[in-house]
Structure 1
Amino acid sequence: MLTVAIGTKNPAKVDAIKNGFEGIQANFIPTSVPSGVSPQPFSDEETIQGAINRAKNALVLEQSDVGIGLEGGVVPTEYGLFLCNWGAIVDSTNNPIIAGGARILLPDEIASELNAGKELGDVMDAYTKQKDIRKNEGAIGIFTNGYIKRTDMFMHVVKLLVGQFTYRR
């Protein structure tokens, strides 16, 4: 059975990973590891690096067969600030497989808070007057009126990772 170290204990990400490995017998070990990037990644490159770092750190810490990391961030464009999400999976070769997912334009009032140095999770908690949005539906769930939740968004990335990983094995 495959042992999968998950580079977070965030319930939305853990559920996405478990669901993304559908049909594969695996033992999952959620673990808290550093992303090695800023609390609010502000580019695809930084968000990808956070996912890779989480995957590698989880693999080493748990001495598992596979490490997987998911990271959310934002990307400035000429159209405004877009939400982004990336994932990485590594095994003992440490050559990461990388995949990205959905993007949506964030409202200007949210973007201005992020540009002022705040973290999206904190901004979303204040915006919705709720707690731990990042552990539940996420910004994507709020701004898609519940059509896509954070788990769904990340599960898509996990399936892309698992598909590539099983293809290469």
Structure 2
Amino acid sequence: MSFKRRENFRPTDKLLVLVGSKNPVKISCTEDAFTRAFNSSFLVEGINASSGVPEQPVGERETLLGAKNRAYNSREVFPEANYWVGIEGGVDEDEKGMFAFAWIFILDNSGKTSQSKTGTFYLPTQVAELVRNGMELGKADDLIFEQENSKQQGGSVGILTQGVINREEYYRQAIILALIPFLNKPLFY
């Protein structure tokens, strides 16, 4: 297990949020989203959690399943947290070409869940062709745009918007949207 249990964690400490990934972008945007949404600080940690889907999920169902699996598998490893977050990026295609998106899935310690999806954006033909041939999107971006580990930085969205929207900003809004039922419990539960 890559997450160290805090033996001295007390209920009076900050609420603990586990992200089902060690990707620093996913951890940082989750912390920012929770802090903004609840106007409070949280302890946010990343944990290696299996998505149970291919390295590059294709389609809505597979991508959402990956996000759900990351959240539930994080809870299996560390059930003492207050929230578990799964973030999974995927691709799909329509008549215009291949597009990217991500699903956010949040589970709280009462068993309540919520989910939200990011906006979508189309991928360049060269990148899409590599992904169709089995390459993960981040690796395809690195190859085509001569980057190194771009998915732990601005990601595809950062590269393609020339930094106007980075991966952290892209995920943050969807995380906040997924928190709506937790922020408005009387309306949803």
Q: TM-score range by the shorter chain?
A: over 0.9
- SS of 1:21's equivalent? helix
Amino acid at match of 2:122: L
Structure 1 runs of 4+ off > 6 angstroms? none
In the other structure, the counterpart of 1:75 is 92
Query: Residue 49 in 1 paired to residue 62 in 2?
Result: no
Please, which moves more after superposition, 159-168 or 106-115? Answer: 159-168
Match of 1:112 among 126, 129, 141: 129
Structure with max Cα Rg: 2
Shift, 1:167, TM fit: 1.4
Cα distance in 2 for partners of 1:66, 1:113 equals: 36
Deviation string 1:96-131 (CA, Å, 9 cap, x unpaired) is 311001110111111111111111111111112121
Query: Among the aligned pairs, what percent are the same residue?
Result: 30
2:40 to 19, 24, 32: 24
Consecutive unaligned residues of structure 2, counting only runs of 5 or more, are 1-13
Residue of structure 1 equivalent to 2:49: 33
| CA pair 34-11 structure 1, distance change in 2 beyond 3 A | same
* Long gaps (5+) in structure 1: none
Distance 2:128 2:33 in 1: 30
RCO greater where, 1 or 2, for CA within 8 Å and sep 6 or more? 1
Q: CA–CA distance in 1 between the matches of 2:111 and 2:73?
A: 11
Match of 1:10 in 2: 23
Instruction: Give 1:159's aligned residue.
Output: 176
With the length of structure 1 as denominator, give the TM-score of the two structures. 0.94
**What CA RMSD, in Å, does the superposition of the two structures yield over aligned residues?**
1.3
Which TM-score applies when normalising by structure 2? 0.85
Deviation track 1:49-83 (CA, whole Å, cap 9, x = no partner) reads 11111111112212212101101010111111111
